[in-house]
Amino acid sequence: MTILSQNLKTIRKNLGNTQMTLANKLGIGFRTYVRYEAGERDAPISIMIKLAKLGNMSLDRLLTTEVKKPDLEIKDVDSTPKTSKKMEVIGGSLDEGRLVFKGLKNDFLISSNSEEKKLLTKFRKMDKGKRDKFVSEIEWILGNGRPANSGGNTKKVAKNVLKAKNAARLKKMTKAIKKTTVKG
């Protein structure tokens, strides 16, 4: 049995459901669910997300850590606890730049570079719309001046001209970040 299949069984039993009722809740066939729980088949990401929500845990925890029934009694939370108790790392790494802690739904981006930390902090304070716009702007810049969604029909631009345009654009974006964090 895989960790996922063991966790499926634990979550199902904690909810007090049969395999049939849980399959109905997930909107999948009974035999399909039985194969997931037996470890014969991997569940698609959409099903894993639903299962993580049913178990009140992060997706990383569902996939990487064997969950026992007592673990399910304490639900994963969205925010970091204010106490100084030691937390168990269950996923991610310093190389990946993120960590996942037992008992928390969200993963945490980590960095040892102070400038990167400032940028991440400002980015996290933005609302979703501004984050999406910011990401698309960065994708545009990294695409050598070609919009991320274009078919490549743009003309080539000299590197020094492109660098100057990108530097100006980054300055504008930095100012926008400062404005949004002041409001928040």
Alpha-carbon distances of 175 from 74, 144, 169, rounded to whole Å: 42, 22, 10
Chain mean position to CA 75: 18
CATH of the domain at 37: 1.10.260.40
**Does residue 27 fall inside a structural domain?**
yes
Choosing from 78, 106, 136, the residue where a domain stops is 78
* Same domain, yes or no: 74 and 118: no
Query: Which residue range forms the structural domain that includes residue 147?
Result: 114-183
Q: Extract the tokens encoding 80.
A: 């970091």
Choosing from 50, 78, 106, the residue where a domain stops is 78
- Give CA–CA dist 61/49, Å, rounded: 11
- Does 18 have pLDDT greater than 90? yes
* Same domain, yes or no: 73 and 130: no
* Same domain, yes or no: 123 and 69: no
**Does residue 97 fall inside a structural domain?**
no
User: What average pLDDT does range 31-51 have in this prediction?
Assistant: 90
- Give CA–CA dist 132/122, Å, rounded: 14
User: Are residues 27 and 2 in contact, defined by beta-carbon separation less than 8 angstroms?
Assistant: no
User: Are residues 35 and 46 in contact, defined by beta-carbon separation less than 8 angstroms?
Assistant: no
**Greatest Cα pair distance in the chain:** 65
* 138 Cβ neighbours under 8 A, 6+ residues apart: 173
Strand pairing partners for 91? Answer: 100
Q: Is 156 helix (H, G, I), strand (E, B) or coil?
A: coil
pLDDT tens digit sequence for 75-130: 655 666 666 667 666 666 656 666 666 666 665 656 666 777 788 778 878 888 88
Q: Extract the tokens encoding 61.
A: 């925890």
* 104 Cβ neighbours under 8 A, 6+ residues apart: 58, 76, 77, 78, 80, 87
Q: Is the pTM of this model over 0.75?
A: no
Choosing from 29, 53, 78, the residue where a domain stops is 78
Q: Extract the tokens encoding 169.
A: 């654009």
pLDDT tens digit sequence for 125-177: 888 888 888 888 888 787 755 544 544 445 566 777 878 888 888 777 777 66
**Does residue 102 fall inside a structural domain?**
no
Domains: count for the chain: 2
User: What average pLDDT does range 179-184 have in this prediction?
Assistant: 48
* Same domain, yes or no: 118 and 62: no
* Same domain, yes or no: 130 and 73: no
Q: Extract the tokens encoding 130.
A: 């501004």
- Give CA–CA dist 98/110, Å, rounded: 5
**Does residue 84 fall inside a structural domain?**
no
**Does residue 89 fall inside a structural domain?**
no
* Same domain, yes or no: 67 and 122: no
**Does residue 19 fall inside a structural domain?**
yes
* Same domain, yes or no: 65 and 122: no
